[in-house]
A = this chain, B = another copy of it.
Amino acid sequence: MLDRSTVIGLLFGFTLILVAIVTQGNLLVFASLSSLLIVVGGIVAATMVNYSLKNIKNSFTTISSLMGVKSVDLRTDMELMSMFARRVRSEGLLVLEGDIEHIKDPYLRNGLQFAVDGFKQESLASILQNEIQSRKRQVEISIKVLQSMSNYAPAFGMIGTIIGMVLMLQNVSDPESLGSGLSVALLTTLYGTIFSNMLFGPLAGKLDYLSKLDLNRKEMFRVGIMSMMEKENPRIMEKKMLIYINPKDRAEYIKHHEELTIKRQRDQKLYSQWIEQQNNEWETLKKVLEPG
């Protein structure tokens, strides 16, 4: 499941190129199955030598698995974590035992499970850190696979063009065929450049970007879990975690919570005034009712 921006970008880019061709000439001139085979085949072959077919497949599944990350609002995670922190503070870590299985994110779930299992603070810190490192290494391979596909694309485009030029130059006598020969030869370069700059390059960049968002979220969870284990004040944990949220969302979150506090205080005040009044009225009533 690709995200909207990627889908729209791909559609927009390829449409643009098609329109540019159709408005200026015949689309059939640009369609060449053999050119496509050289470029795509070359990219796949070189990437298979470099990695393996499985790695290529993995890169694409990694992208789709990370697509969800983008739409996650870290403030929801914040609210969940502060609720946990408040419960842990008052009732101890074991209170989370029942909640853990309902947590969706596997990193947070495992981290809290380890905490509940009684891991030493030091070991847990290193496990959580290493898990992030391990995840990073896994994704970096996928990014490199896409980057190498982006690098091989124009190279095989060039190989196809040189093959075409060598053949064309063999029969230089007919100038007209020479032109159309070069024209066909250039198609592989065109395909290679488009694949590199419209497909593999941007997808490699996307994976890098999504992976950074994902690791940022995991870092936020890590800081939160460690703070819970140290039994820190939930408000301190909140401030430590807020750093991983982008400035704009952070400002909104803080403002919203301040307003909540103010409203709660006002409610509290109204309630206590009301209580007081009630009491007063009761006092009045009592006096009235009091016998003599």
A contact set with B: CB distance below 8 Å: 3, 5-6, 8-10, 12-13, 16-17, 20-21, 23-25, 29-30, 34, 37-38, 41-42, 44-54, 70, 114, 119, 123, 126-127, 130-131, 133-135, 137-138, 141, 144, 148, 152, 155-156, 158-160, 162-167, 169-173, 175-176, 178-180, 182-183, 186-187, 189-190, 193-194, 196-199, 201-203, 205-206, 209, 212, 216, 236, 239-240, 243-244, 246-247
Contact = CB atoms under 8 A, between A and B. Distances in A.
Contact of A127 (B6, B179, B239): B239
B239 A202 contact: no
Contacts of A34: 20, 23-24
A209 B51 contact: yes
Contacts of A182: 169
Contacts of A179: 169-172
A12 to B, nearest CB: 4
22 contacts: A5-B49, A5-B51, A6-B48, A16-B38, A16-B42, A20-B38, A24-B34, A24-B164, A25-B167, A46-B198, A46-B202, A49-B206, A50-B206, A131-B243, A134-B243, A148-B205, A152-B201, A155-B196, A159-B194, A162-B193, A165-B183, A172-B178
A166 B240 contact: no
Nearest to A21: B163
Contacts of A160: 20
Contacts of A159: 17, 190, 193-194, 197
Given A196-B155, A209-B50, A13 B45 contact: yes
B46 A201 contact: yes
Contact of A169 (B126, B135, B186, B209): B186
Given A169-B182, A172-B178, A183-B170, A127 B5 contact: no
B9 A141 contact: no
A210 B281 CA distance: 65
